[in-house]
A and B are shown apart, each in its own frame.
Chain A
Amino acid sequence: MYIFPDHGMPHDRLAANAEDLAFFYETHYGD
């Protein structure tokens, strides 16, 4: 059955994205 594309975003997935982004900036632009 076709599912509407907008599923919502669980908090843990958002947190994983935010943590990896912080690490990305730390490793690429940190001191």
Chain B
Amino acid sequence: MAIKGIFFDAADVFYYRPVPTDDYALNLLKQGGYATELPAEDHVRQQALRSQANSGHLSPDKYWDQFLLMHGVAAPGQRKALAGQIIAYSNHVLAIPGGKEALAGLKQRGFVLGIVTDTIYPLAWKMRWLHQVGVAEFIDVVACSTVLGVHKPDPAIYLNALQQAHLTPGEAAFVGHDAGELAGAHRAGIATVAVNYDPGTQADYYAQSLVDLLNVPIFKKPHT
């Protein structure tokens, strides 16, 4: 079945931050003399908090407040100031070269283009970042974890993107860098394309860069 729609992950596909937000937050804690390592039980709790935040059930302010509290930042004023710094850092994204050219080419070939994104931040922020890196104008549909209440690799978020695009799983592909997210797309019946991936990542196709997406066999032929 011919591919008609292509859905993309956003972070580390179209934009990046100089260091992951987690590392930035841990550096702040280290500078302040706070704990950077957590006991095992708190680590599990932190993962649960992230999942809640990604599903839109916990605001970014509350997520980072709890994160900082777990790391021993007891003073509320200090937590508020540090959370503000972390969120401000999150808002500075840098473009990965080739995103605009790749999407312009794929759009010209007639594909419906979408974003399937996990975030703890509001969709409007995500769209602003995509705009800043020059790709928002090509996007037709967005499935966002904080809006839908589910996050990757839950097949439901990929299926929502399909529904918005009026496509079946066999008519779509997911482009991502994360092995778990690619596996989720595969479980939803969607073809997978890895880009900016770690060694060993499993996918149906691989692109060595964003503009190399234009050479992926299933993206060569425009749909009719």
Given known contacts A2-B47, A5-B178, A7-B177, A17 and B210 CB-to-CB distance under 8 angstroms: yes
- Does B98 lie within 8 Å of A17, measured CB to CB? yes
List residues of B (178-210) whose CB comes within 8 Å of A's CBs: 178, 180, 196, 208-210
Interface mask (A12-25 → B, CB under 8 Å = 1, otherwise 0): 01101111110110
13 additional A-B pairs beyond A9-B96, A17-B210, beta carbons within 8 Å, are A5-B54, A5-B152, A6-B12, A6-B20, A6-B22, A7-B178, A8-B19, A9-B17, A13-B196, A17-B97, A20-B98, A21-B97, A21-B211
Interface size bracket, A side: 10 to 19
Interface size bracket, B side: 35 or more
CB contacts (< 8 Å) of B10 on chain A: these are 5
- Does A17 lie within 8 Å of B180, measured CB to CB? no
Total number of residue pairs linking A and B with CB closer than 8 Å = 81
* A residues with CB within 8 A of B: 1-9, 13-14, 16-21, 23-24
- Does A24 lie within 8 Å of B196, measured CB to CB? no
Could you tell me the distance between the alpha carbons of A8 and B18 in the complex, rounded to whole angstroms?
Answer: 7
